[in-house]
Amino acid sequence: MTEMPARLDRYTTGDLPIDEERALARAALEDPHLFDELMTAGATRAALDREGTQAGVLGAAGAAAPLRGFWRAPVRAAAFALAAALLIFAVFYPRARNDGRAPAQAATSPGSSHTGVVSGSLPAPVVLSARLEDFASSSSSSEFRSAHTVSRSPKTEGRVSLASQGADVVVPLGSLDGITQGTELQIVRGSSREPVGRLTITTVFREQSRGRVDPHARVKPGDVALVSSSVLVAALHQQMVALVAAGDITGAREAATRALPLLDQPGVAVEDTRGVLALAGAIERRAGQPADAVGHLRAAADVLSTPPAVPAPVRAAVLNELGAALLDARRADEAERVLAEAQQISSGSMTPRIENNRGAAAALRGDRTAAERWYRAALSGLTGSSASNDERRAIDRNLSNLTAVR
Protein backbone atom coordinates (compact mmCIF):
# COMPACT_ATOMS: atom_id res chain seq x y z
CA MET A 1 0.00 0.00 0.00
CA THR A 2 2.99 2.34 0.40
CA GLU A 3 3.03 2.89 -3.38
CA MET A 4 -0.61 4.02 -3.44
CA PRO A 5 0.05 7.77 -2.94
CA ALA A 6 2.53 7.75 -5.85
CA ARG A 7 0.01 5.95 -8.07
CA LEU A 8 -2.60 8.57 -7.19
CA ASP A 9 -0.21 11.38 -8.04
CA ARG A 10 0.51 9.75 -11.41
CA TYR A 11 -3.20 9.37 -12.08
CA THR A 12 -3.99 13.02 -11.38
CA THR A 13 -1.21 14.12 -13.75
CA GLY A 14 -2.42 11.71 -16.46
CA ASP A 15 0.71 9.55 -16.29
CA LEU A 16 -0.89 6.37 -14.92
CA PRO A 17 -1.31 3.61 -17.55
CA ILE A 18 -4.88 2.53 -18.21
CA ASP A 19 -4.31 -0.97 -16.82
CA GLU A 20 -3.17 0.54 -13.53
CA GLU A 21 -6.18 2.86 -13.53
CA ARG A 22 -8.41 -0.19 -13.82
CA ALA A 23 -6.58 -1.99 -11.03
CA LEU A 24 -6.96 1.04 -8.78
CA ALA A 25 -10.66 1.30 -9.56
CA ARG A 26 -11.26 -2.40 -8.94
CA ALA A 27 -9.58 -2.09 -5.54
CA ALA A 28 -12.11 0.59 -4.63
CA LEU A 29 -15.01 -1.52 -5.87
CA GLU A 30 -13.89 -4.47 -3.75
CA ASP A 31 -13.23 -2.47 -0.58
CA PRO A 32 -16.46 -1.24 1.07
CA HIS A 33 -14.55 1.10 3.37
CA LEU A 34 -12.68 2.69 0.49
CA PHE A 35 -15.86 3.00 -1.53
CA ASP A 36 -17.55 4.62 1.47
CA GLU A 37 -14.90 7.30 1.37
CA LEU A 38 -15.40 7.76 -2.35
CA MET A 39 -19.10 8.41 -1.80
CA THR A 40 -18.17 11.03 0.80
CA ALA A 41 -15.57 12.45 -1.57
CA GLY A 42 -18.27 13.01 -4.17
CA ALA A 43 -19.46 16.05 -2.25
CA THR A 44 -15.90 17.37 -2.33
CA ARG A 45 -15.82 16.84 -6.09
CA ALA A 46 -19.01 18.83 -6.55
CA ALA A 47 -17.55 21.68 -4.50
CA LEU A 48 -14.36 21.58 -6.54
CA ASP A 49 -16.29 21.79 -9.79
CA ARG A 50 -17.91 24.98 -8.52
CA GLU A 51 -14.63 26.46 -7.30
CA GLY A 52 -12.60 25.36 -10.34
CA THR A 53 -9.21 26.00 -8.68
CA GLN A 54 -6.52 23.97 -6.98
CA ALA A 55 -7.04 26.15 -3.95
CA GLY A 56 -10.58 24.83 -3.86
CA VAL A 57 -9.19 21.32 -3.86
CA LEU A 58 -7.09 21.84 -0.80
CA GLY A 59 -9.73 23.86 1.01
CA ALA A 60 -12.44 21.29 0.47
CA ALA A 61 -10.12 18.47 1.49
CA GLY A 62 -9.17 20.24 4.66
CA ALA A 63 -12.82 20.65 5.63
CA ALA A 64 -13.66 16.99 4.98
CA ALA A 65 -13.63 14.35 7.71
CA PRO A 66 -10.35 12.33 7.93
CA LEU A 67 -10.32 9.23 5.75
CA ARG A 68 -9.98 5.79 7.28
CA GLY A 69 -7.44 3.03 6.60
CA PHE A 70 -4.33 3.72 4.52
CA TRP A 71 -5.72 7.00 3.18
CA ARG A 72 -3.74 9.16 5.61
CA ALA A 73 -2.47 12.14 3.60
CA PRO A 74 -5.25 14.75 3.18
CA VAL A 75 -3.80 16.33 0.05
CA ARG A 76 -3.57 12.99 -1.74
CA ALA A 77 -7.03 12.08 -0.49
CA ALA A 78 -8.39 15.22 -2.09
CA ALA A 79 -6.60 14.34 -5.32
CA PHE A 80 -8.26 10.94 -5.27
CA ALA A 81 -11.61 12.57 -4.60
CA LEU A 82 -11.13 14.51 -7.81
CA ALA A 83 -10.35 11.32 -9.73
CA ALA A 84 -12.84 8.99 -8.03
CA ALA A 85 -15.61 9.20 -10.58
CA LEU A 86 -13.27 8.59 -13.50
CA LEU A 87 -11.45 5.80 -11.69
CA ILE A 88 -14.62 3.82 -11.06
CA PHE A 89 -15.85 4.50 -14.58
CA ALA A 90 -12.53 3.28 -16.03
CA VAL A 91 -13.27 -0.26 -14.88
CA PHE A 92 -15.88 -0.49 -17.61
CA TYR A 93 -15.21 2.09 -20.32
CA PRO A 94 -11.97 4.00 -19.86
CA ARG A 95 -12.27 5.85 -23.16
CA ALA A 96 -15.95 6.78 -23.57
CA ARG A 97 -16.54 8.92 -26.64
CA ASN A 98 -17.29 12.62 -26.47
CA ASP A 99 -20.57 13.40 -28.23
CA GLY A 100 -20.62 17.11 -27.54
CA ARG A 101 -22.74 17.05 -24.37
CA ALA A 102 -21.45 18.20 -21.02
CA PRO A 103 -20.17 15.02 -19.34
CA ALA A 104 -22.30 13.40 -16.68
CA GLN A 105 -20.74 12.53 -13.36
CA ALA A 106 -19.81 8.85 -13.68
CA ALA A 107 -19.35 7.41 -10.20
CA THR A 108 -21.16 4.13 -9.60
CA SER A 109 -21.51 2.14 -6.43
CA PRO A 110 -20.86 -1.59 -6.27
CA GLY A 111 -24.59 -1.90 -5.77
CA SER A 112 -26.90 0.29 -7.74
CA SER A 113 -26.14 4.00 -7.66
CA HIS A 114 -25.02 6.06 -10.62
CA THR A 115 -24.32 9.75 -10.31
CA GLY A 116 -26.39 11.91 -12.59
CA VAL A 117 -25.98 15.46 -13.80
CA VAL A 118 -25.69 18.88 -12.21
CA SER A 119 -28.49 21.41 -12.42
CA GLY A 120 -27.94 25.00 -11.37
CA SER A 121 -26.28 25.31 -7.97
CA LEU A 122 -27.29 21.84 -6.77
CA PRO A 123 -24.60 19.14 -6.61
CA ALA A 124 -25.16 16.16 -8.85
CA PRO A 125 -27.90 13.87 -7.50
CA VAL A 126 -27.20 10.15 -7.26
CA VAL A 127 -29.53 8.08 -9.46
CA LEU A 128 -30.36 4.56 -8.28
CA SER A 129 -30.97 1.46 -10.37
CA ALA A 130 -30.52 -2.30 -10.14
CA ARG A 131 -27.05 -3.81 -10.27
CA LEU A 132 -26.19 -4.48 -13.90
CA GLU A 133 -25.82 -8.23 -13.36
CA ASP A 134 -29.23 -8.39 -11.66
CA PHE A 135 -30.77 -6.32 -14.43
CA ALA A 136 -29.20 -8.63 -17.02
CA SER A 137 -30.38 -11.85 -15.39
CA SER A 138 -33.94 -10.54 -15.20
CA SER A 139 -33.93 -10.01 -18.97
CA SER A 140 -33.61 -13.72 -19.75
CA SER A 141 -34.83 -17.06 -18.45
CA SER A 142 -32.40 -19.24 -20.42
CA GLU A 143 -29.52 -20.90 -18.62
CA PHE A 144 -27.51 -22.57 -21.39
CA ARG A 145 -24.69 -20.13 -20.74
CA SER A 146 -23.11 -19.14 -17.47
CA ALA A 147 -20.44 -16.77 -16.27
CA HIS A 148 -17.96 -19.66 -16.31
CA THR A 149 -18.67 -21.04 -19.78
CA VAL A 150 -18.32 -18.01 -22.06
CA SER A 151 -15.65 -19.24 -24.47
CA ARG A 152 -16.51 -17.75 -27.87
CA SER A 153 -19.03 -15.70 -29.79
CA PRO A 154 -22.03 -17.38 -31.44
CA LYS A 155 -21.38 -18.61 -34.98
CA THR A 156 -23.57 -17.94 -37.99
CA GLU A 157 -22.81 -21.16 -39.89
CA GLY A 158 -21.04 -24.52 -39.70
CA ARG A 159 -19.94 -27.22 -42.15
CA VAL A 160 -21.92 -30.44 -42.20
CA SER A 161 -20.43 -33.87 -41.51
CA LEU A 162 -22.22 -37.24 -41.45
CA ALA A 163 -22.50 -39.26 -38.25
CA SER A 164 -20.62 -42.54 -38.13
CA GLN A 165 -23.85 -44.47 -37.65
CA GLY A 166 -27.30 -43.95 -39.12
CA ALA A 167 -28.48 -41.05 -41.23
CA ASP A 168 -27.93 -38.31 -38.66
CA VAL A 169 -26.08 -35.16 -39.69
CA VAL A 170 -23.58 -33.49 -37.37
CA VAL A 171 -22.88 -29.73 -37.40
CA PRO A 172 -20.32 -27.76 -35.32
CA LEU A 173 -23.06 -25.56 -33.89
CA GLY A 174 -24.32 -26.04 -30.34
CA SER A 175 -25.98 -24.37 -27.41
CA LEU A 176 -23.38 -21.60 -27.50
CA ASP A 177 -24.84 -20.69 -30.89
CA GLY A 178 -28.46 -20.63 -29.71
CA ILE A 179 -29.25 -24.12 -30.98
CA THR A 180 -31.94 -26.01 -29.09
CA GLN A 181 -33.74 -29.28 -29.66
CA GLY A 182 -36.13 -28.75 -32.57
CA THR A 183 -34.17 -25.87 -34.14
CA GLU A 184 -34.34 -25.96 -37.94
CA LEU A 185 -31.29 -25.00 -39.99
CA GLN A 186 -31.13 -24.43 -43.72
CA ILE A 187 -28.38 -26.39 -45.53
CA VAL A 188 -26.70 -24.81 -48.56
CA ARG A 189 -24.10 -26.04 -51.03
CA GLY A 190 -20.69 -24.49 -50.37
CA SER A 191 -19.84 -21.17 -51.96
CA SER A 192 -22.82 -21.26 -54.35
CA ARG A 193 -25.19 -21.09 -51.37
CA GLU A 194 -27.69 -23.24 -53.29
CA PRO A 195 -30.33 -24.58 -50.84
CA VAL A 196 -30.12 -28.39 -50.59
CA GLY A 197 -32.32 -29.20 -47.60
CA ARG A 198 -33.27 -28.50 -44.02
CA LEU A 199 -31.90 -30.00 -40.82
CA THR A 200 -34.00 -30.50 -37.67
CA ILE A 201 -31.87 -30.70 -34.53
CA THR A 202 -32.51 -33.66 -32.23
CA THR A 203 -29.51 -33.60 -29.86
CA VAL A 204 -27.61 -30.54 -28.63
CA PHE A 205 -24.20 -30.14 -26.99
CA ARG A 206 -22.28 -26.98 -26.22
CA GLU A 207 -20.16 -27.01 -29.39
CA GLN A 208 -22.06 -29.27 -31.77
CA SER A 209 -25.48 -30.72 -32.58
CA ARG A 210 -26.96 -33.70 -34.35
CA GLY A 211 -30.16 -33.89 -36.35
CA ARG A 212 -32.16 -35.35 -39.21
CA VAL A 213 -32.48 -33.91 -42.71
CA ASP A 214 -35.75 -33.90 -44.60
CA PRO A 215 -36.36 -36.94 -46.86
CA HIS A 216 -35.77 -35.06 -50.12
CA ALA A 217 -32.57 -33.29 -49.04
CA ARG A 218 -29.39 -33.61 -51.09
CA VAL A 219 -27.03 -33.04 -48.19
CA LYS A 220 -23.42 -34.18 -48.28
CA PRO A 221 -20.31 -33.56 -46.14
CA GLY A 222 -18.95 -30.05 -46.63
CA ASP A 223 -22.35 -28.43 -47.09
CA VAL A 224 -23.04 -25.48 -44.81
CA ALA A 225 -25.73 -25.15 -42.13
CA LEU A 226 -26.92 -21.55 -41.71
CA VAL A 227 -28.06 -20.10 -38.41
CA SER A 228 -31.18 -17.94 -38.74
CA SER A 229 -31.31 -14.38 -37.40
CA SER A 230 -33.79 -15.41 -34.70
CA VAL A 231 -31.47 -18.14 -33.39
CA LEU A 232 -28.43 -15.86 -33.57
CA VAL A 233 -30.17 -13.06 -31.67
CA ALA A 234 -31.18 -15.52 -28.94
CA ALA A 235 -27.57 -16.67 -28.66
CA LEU A 236 -26.21 -13.12 -28.57
CA HIS A 237 -28.78 -12.17 -25.93
CA GLN A 238 -27.63 -15.03 -23.73
CA GLN A 239 -24.01 -14.15 -24.37
CA MET A 240 -24.66 -10.59 -23.22
CA VAL A 241 -26.20 -11.89 -19.98
CA ALA A 242 -23.32 -14.31 -19.37
CA LEU A 243 -20.63 -11.72 -20.11
CA VAL A 244 -22.20 -9.22 -17.73
CA ALA A 245 -22.27 -11.92 -15.04
CA ALA A 246 -18.58 -12.59 -15.75
CA GLY A 247 -17.76 -8.87 -15.46
CA ASP A 248 -16.86 -8.50 -19.15
CA ILE A 249 -18.86 -5.39 -19.94
CA THR A 250 -16.85 -4.62 -23.06
CA GLY A 251 -17.62 -8.08 -24.45
CA ALA A 252 -21.31 -7.69 -23.61
CA ARG A 253 -21.35 -4.37 -25.43
CA GLU A 254 -19.77 -5.97 -28.49
CA ALA A 255 -22.40 -8.73 -28.45
CA ALA A 256 -25.11 -6.07 -28.29
CA THR A 257 -23.57 -4.35 -31.31
CA ARG A 258 -23.99 -7.59 -33.28
CA ALA A 259 -27.53 -8.22 -32.05
CA LEU A 260 -29.15 -4.80 -32.39
CA PRO A 261 -29.22 -4.64 -36.24
CA LEU A 262 -30.93 -8.05 -36.35
CA LEU A 263 -33.88 -7.27 -34.10
CA ASP A 264 -36.21 -6.37 -36.97
CA GLN A 265 -35.57 -9.64 -38.82
CA PRO A 266 -38.45 -12.13 -39.18
CA GLY A 267 -38.85 -14.67 -36.42
CA VAL A 268 -36.87 -12.88 -33.70
CA ALA A 269 -38.61 -13.59 -30.38
CA VAL A 270 -40.03 -10.57 -28.60
CA GLU A 271 -38.38 -11.79 -25.37
CA ASP A 272 -34.98 -11.50 -27.04
CA THR A 273 -35.85 -8.17 -28.65
CA ARG A 274 -36.75 -6.46 -25.40
CA GLY A 275 -33.99 -8.27 -23.50
CA VAL A 276 -31.28 -7.12 -25.91
CA LEU A 277 -32.66 -3.57 -26.03
CA ALA A 278 -32.99 -3.23 -22.26
CA LEU A 279 -29.57 -4.65 -21.46
CA ALA A 280 -27.89 -2.68 -24.26
CA GLY A 281 -29.48 0.47 -22.86
CA ALA A 282 -28.31 -0.28 -19.33
CA ILE A 283 -24.77 -0.93 -20.61
CA GLU A 284 -24.71 2.29 -22.65
CA ARG A 285 -25.94 4.25 -19.66
CA ARG A 286 -23.05 2.97 -17.57
CA ALA A 287 -20.73 3.79 -20.46
CA GLY A 288 -21.74 7.44 -20.16
CA GLN A 289 -23.83 7.47 -23.35
CA PRO A 290 -27.28 8.62 -22.16
CA ALA A 291 -28.65 9.35 -25.65
CA ASP A 292 -27.96 5.80 -26.84
CA ALA A 293 -29.23 4.43 -23.53
CA VAL A 294 -32.50 6.33 -23.82
CA GLY A 295 -33.03 5.12 -27.39
CA HIS A 296 -32.52 1.44 -26.52
CA LEU A 297 -34.46 1.55 -23.25
CA ARG A 298 -37.40 3.43 -24.76
CA ALA A 299 -37.59 0.84 -27.53
CA ALA A 300 -37.55 -1.91 -24.89
CA ALA A 301 -40.30 -0.14 -22.93
CA ASP A 302 -42.43 0.05 -26.07
CA VAL A 303 -42.61 -3.77 -26.28
CA LEU A 304 -43.06 -4.47 -22.56
CA SER A 305 -46.79 -5.01 -23.10
CA THR A 306 -46.31 -7.29 -26.12
CA PRO A 307 -47.10 -10.95 -25.28
CA PRO A 308 -45.72 -12.97 -23.64
CA ALA A 309 -46.33 -10.91 -20.55
CA VAL A 310 -43.44 -9.35 -18.63
CA PRO A 311 -43.61 -9.63 -14.82
CA ALA A 312 -44.33 -6.34 -13.09
CA PRO A 313 -40.93 -6.23 -11.29
CA VAL A 314 -39.10 -6.53 -14.62
CA ARG A 315 -41.28 -3.83 -16.20
CA ALA A 316 -40.62 -1.54 -13.25
CA ALA A 317 -36.86 -2.17 -13.49
CA VAL A 318 -36.78 -1.34 -17.22
CA LEU A 319 -38.83 1.83 -16.72
CA ASN A 320 -36.65 2.91 -13.81
CA GLU A 321 -33.54 2.37 -15.93
CA LEU A 322 -35.11 4.48 -18.68
CA GLY A 323 -35.94 7.18 -16.14
CA ALA A 324 -32.34 7.12 -14.89
CA ALA A 325 -31.02 7.47 -18.45
CA LEU A 326 -33.34 10.42 -19.04
CA LEU A 327 -32.00 12.02 -15.87
CA ASP A 328 -28.45 11.49 -17.12
CA ALA A 329 -29.51 13.27 -20.32
CA ARG A 330 -30.97 16.18 -18.28
CA ARG A 331 -34.52 15.39 -19.47
CA ALA A 332 -36.10 15.68 -16.05
CA ASP A 333 -39.70 16.19 -17.14
CA GLU A 334 -39.68 13.07 -19.31
CA ALA A 335 -37.93 11.16 -16.54
CA GLU A 336 -40.64 12.09 -14.06
CA ARG A 337 -43.39 10.77 -16.34
CA VAL A 338 -41.59 7.45 -16.87
CA LEU A 339 -40.74 7.07 -13.18
CA ALA A 340 -44.33 7.79 -12.15
CA GLU A 341 -45.43 4.93 -14.41
CA ALA A 342 -42.73 2.69 -12.95
CA GLN A 343 -43.80 3.40 -9.39
CA GLN A 344 -47.36 2.25 -10.09
CA ILE A 345 -46.10 -1.32 -10.70
CA SER A 346 -43.00 -1.39 -8.47
CA SER A 347 -42.50 -3.36 -5.29
CA GLY A 348 -39.75 -4.29 -2.87
CA SER A 349 -36.32 -2.68 -3.23
CA MET A 350 -37.22 -1.06 -6.55
CA THR A 351 -39.70 1.36 -4.99
CA PRO A 352 -37.15 3.36 -2.93
CA ARG A 353 -34.91 3.57 -5.99
CA ILE A 354 -37.74 5.02 -8.05
CA GLU A 355 -38.67 7.44 -5.27
CA ASN A 356 -35.06 8.60 -5.03
CA ASN A 357 -34.97 9.13 -8.79
CA ARG A 358 -38.20 11.11 -8.71
CA GLY A 359 -36.47 13.25 -6.10
CA ALA A 360 -33.53 13.68 -8.48
CA ALA A 361 -35.92 14.70 -11.26
CA ALA A 362 -37.51 17.28 -8.98
CA ALA A 363 -34.08 18.58 -7.95
CA LEU A 364 -33.02 18.97 -11.57
CA ARG A 365 -36.22 20.95 -12.21
CA GLY A 366 -35.40 23.19 -9.24
CA ASP A 367 -38.31 21.95 -7.10
CA ARG A 368 -36.48 21.37 -3.84
CA THR A 369 -39.64 20.83 -1.80
CA ALA A 370 -40.73 17.93 -3.99
CA ALA A 371 -37.18 16.57 -4.13
CA GLU A 372 -36.93 16.49 -0.34
CA ARG A 373 -40.32 14.79 -0.07
CA TRP A 374 -39.29 12.04 -2.49
CA TYR A 375 -35.89 11.52 -0.87
CA ARG A 376 -37.47 11.12 2.56
CA ALA A 377 -40.05 8.69 1.16
CA ALA A 378 -37.22 6.65 -0.33
CA LEU A 379 -35.37 6.54 2.99
CA SER A 380 -38.48 5.37 4.82
CA GLY A 381 -38.90 2.46 2.43
CA LEU A 382 -35.43 0.98 2.77
CA THR A 383 -34.76 -2.28 4.60
CA GLY A 384 -31.75 -3.17 6.70
CA SER A 385 -29.96 -5.19 4.00
CA SER A 386 -26.40 -4.35 3.01
CA ALA A 387 -27.54 -3.25 -0.45
CA SER A 388 -30.07 -0.92 1.12
CA ASN A 389 -27.37 0.48 3.39
CA ASP A 390 -25.39 1.50 0.31
CA GLU A 391 -28.48 3.06 -1.18
CA ARG A 392 -29.31 4.75 2.11
CA ARG A 393 -25.95 6.52 2.03
CA ALA A 394 -26.62 7.65 -1.55
CA ILE A 395 -30.06 9.01 -0.70
CA ASP A 396 -28.69 10.66 2.45
CA ARG A 397 -26.11 12.36 0.27
CA ASN A 398 -28.81 13.62 -2.09
CA LEU A 399 -30.81 14.96 0.84
CA SER A 400 -27.77 16.57 2.46
CA ASN A 401 -26.74 18.25 -0.79
CA LEU A 402 -30.27 19.52 -1.25
CA THR A 403 -30.49 21.14 2.17
CA ALA A 404 -26.88 22.35 2.28
CA VAL A 405 -27.33 24.94 -0.45
CA ARG A 406 -30.49 26.54 0.88
Number of CB atoms found within 10 A of residue 345's CB = 16
> Which of 48-62, 115-129, 239-253, 316-330 has the least mean pLDDT?
48-62
* φ/ψ (deg, to 5) at 282: -65, -40
> How high is the pLDDT of residue 200?
94
Handedness of CA 196, 201, 204, 206 (dihedral sign): positive
Q: What pLDDT score was predicted for residue 44?
A: 37
pLDDT surpasses 60 at 153: yes
**Fold (topology level) of 128-146+244-404:** 1.25.40
C-alpha 380/C-alpha 77 separation (Å) is 33
3-state SS of 46-94 is HHHHHHCCHHHHHHHHHHCCCCCCCCCCHHHHHHHHHHHHHHHHHCCCC
CB atoms within 10 A of CB 202: 14
Lowest mean pLDDT among 135-139, 206-210, 382-386: 382-386
pLDDT at 191: 79
Q: Is the pLDDT of residue 1 over 80?
A: no
Summarize pLDDT for 136-152 with one digit per residue, the tens. Answer: 877 654 544 444 455 68
- Please say if the pLDDT value at position 116 is more than 80: no
Q: How many Cβ atoms from other residues are within 10 Å of residue 6's Cβ?
A: 11
Please tell me the distance from the alpha carbon of residue 269 to that of residue 230, in angstroms, as a whole number.
7
The reported pLDDT for the residue numbered 190 is 79
Q: How confident is the model at residue 72 (pLDDT cuts 50, 70, 90)?
A: very low
For the stretch 175-189, pLDDT in tens is 999 999 999 999 999
What CATH code is assigned to 157-226?
A: 2.40.10.410
Instruction: Please state, in angstroms and rounded to a whole number, the distance separating the CA atoms of residues 265 and 247.
Output: 29
The region of weakest confidence among 312-326, 329-343, 385-399 is: 385-399
Query: Looking at residue 162, what is its pLDDT?
Result: 79
Asked if the domains 128-146+244-404 and 157-226 are classified in one and the same CATH topology, the answer is no
Helices (H) and strands (E) in the chain, counts: 15, 9
pLDDT bin (cut points 50, 70, 90) of residue 51 is: very low
Counting every residue written for the chain, the total comes to: 406
Cβ atoms of residues 245 and 272 within 8 Å = no
Task: Place 390 in a pLDDT band, splitting at 50, 70 and 90.
Answer: confident
Q: Note whether 153 and 240 are within 8 A (CB).
A: no
The residue extents of the domains of the chain are 4-91, 128-146+244-404, 157-226
- Reported pTM: 0.69
Judged against a pLDDT cut of 50, whether residue 392 lies above it is answered with: yes
CB atoms within 10 A of CB 329: 20
Given a cut of 80, is residue 103 above it in pLDDT?
Answer: no
Please tell me which residue, 400 or 69, carries the higher pLDDT value: 400
